[in-house]
Amino acid sequence: MKLVRFGPRGAERPGIIDGEGRLRDLSSHVKDIAGEVLLPASLARLSDIDPARLPLVEGTPRIGACVVQVGKMVCVGLNYSDHAPESGMGVPSEPVLFFKATSAIVGPDDDVEIPPGAAKVDWEVELGVVIGKPVRYVSKDQAMQHVAGYCVVNDVSERAYQLERGGTWDKGKGCDTFGPMGPWLVTRDEIPDPQALAMWLDVDGRRFQDGSTRTMVFDVPTLVSYISQFMSLQPGDVISTGTPPGVGLGQKPPVYLKPGQTMRLGIQGLGEQQQRTVAARIGDKQ
């Protein structure tokens, strides 16, 4: 299934994409794509619904983040063997973990704001893993039973905040709008091998990232198992699994985003995103 949330910010409704790629309203069956809806039994019940019997959503409504009420967003750094060298860092012996503030999460086509004074805003197309069943201390061979599905994440980053301002990476990762997610939550059964997905990102029509999840250092089962040793994961939590080469930081000279640009990105089978960059104004509300 391809589950989606659509409508104005803060008033999104749950939907599903039918076999012809059309959006259907799912709100007569679930309140939202969150929490217990992501449990295996709940997803099984949704899979029994015939989308053709659901109301067709006309027009082109705004698409929201594909999951709501995310308890935590755990990100993995330097997780592509061909990305770590371009960042000037070695391939890690264990997963590098950091958090992205859940207040950064926005829809896949919402504007990305350049914070006041920011000069090194960068892009990162990433495979998002959505947890569907509570998990802690799980083995690698049992880890996938706890995955509800996958989505596209743009792990937008401010490199000066991340690397030059002291402390952890979180400063450069959690700014408002720095976590576009979606368009769909694609359930695990539709993606038989998450380690064989092409992924790409363009800025203003120029292809910067053109990679594959094949070059991940730590695969999805390893990451779910590893993270569960340090914290429990709950339905709706998201793991953003790292990015392939081609980020702005790795260009020679580096290239960073400025207001008025357009990012387009996607992952095979998981859909596409498109964001416009705008200058954030102090006092604006989400």
Specify the CATH number for the domain of residue 78: 3.90.850.10
Supply the pLDDT for residue 170.
87
Supply the pLDDT for residue 220.
98
Query: Is 195 part of any domain?
Result: yes
**Distance between CA 258 and CA 115 in Å, rounded?**
10
Q: What percent of the chain has pLDDT over 90?
A: 90
Question: What pLDDT digit, counting tens, does each position of 140-195 carry?
Answer: 999 999 999 999 999 999 999 998 888 788 888 999 999 999 999 999 999 999 99
Amino acid identity of residue 228, one-letter, is: S
Question: What pLDDT digit, counting tens, does each position of 48-70 carry?
Answer: 999 999 999 999 999 999 999 99
Is it the case that residue 90 has pLDDT exceeding 80?
no
Is it the case that residue 201 has pLDDT exceeding 80?
yes
Query: Is 230 part of any domain?
Result: yes
Beta strand pairing call for 271-279 and 112-114: parallel
Query: Is 231 part of any domain?
Result: yes
CA atoms within 13 A on the CB side of 230: 10
**Distance between CA 93 and CA 91 in Å, rounded?**
7
**Distance between CA 137 and CA 158 in Å, rounded?**
33
The CA-atom distances, in angstroms, between 241 and each of 37, 116, 117, 233 are 23, 28, 28, 15
Query: Is 18 part of any domain?
Result: no
Supply the pLDDT for residue 285.
57
Question: What pLDDT digit, counting tens, does each position of 228-271 carry?
Answer: 999 999 999 999 999 999 999 999 999 999 999 999 999 999 99
pTM: predicted TM-score of the whole model, two decimal places: 0.95
Query: Is 52 part of any domain?
Result: no
Query: Is 38 part of any domain?
Result: no
Amino acid identity of residue 194, one-letter, is: P
Supply the pLDDT for residue 268.
98
Supply the pLDDT for residue 284.
57
Supply the pLDDT for residue 252.
93
Q: Of 133, 124, 136, 83, which Cα lies nearest the Cα of 100?
A: 124
Domain of 119 in residue numbering reads as: 65-279
Total count of domains within the chain: 1
Query: Is 9 part of any domain?
Result: no
Question: For the chain, what is the mean pLDDT?
Answer: 95
Query: Is 46 part of any domain?
Result: no
Is it the case that residue 286 has pLDDT exceeding 60?
no
Q: What are phi and psi of 112, to 5 degrees?
A: -105, 125
Q: Of 231, 17, 49, which Cα lies nearest the Cα of 137?
A: 231
Supply the pLDDT for residue 9.
96
The answer to whether 79 touches 129, Cβ cutoff 8 Å, is: no
Nearest-5° Cα angle at 140, 65 to 233: 40
Q: What is the rounded radius of gyration, in angstroms, for the C-alpha atoms of the chain?
A: 18
**What is the distance, to the nearest Å, from the Cα of residue 160 to the centroid of all Cα atoms in its chain?**
22
Q: Of 94, 223, 210, 106, which Cα lies nearest the Cα of 156?
A: 106
What is the band of 87 on the pLDDT scale with cuts at 50, 70, 90?
Answer: low
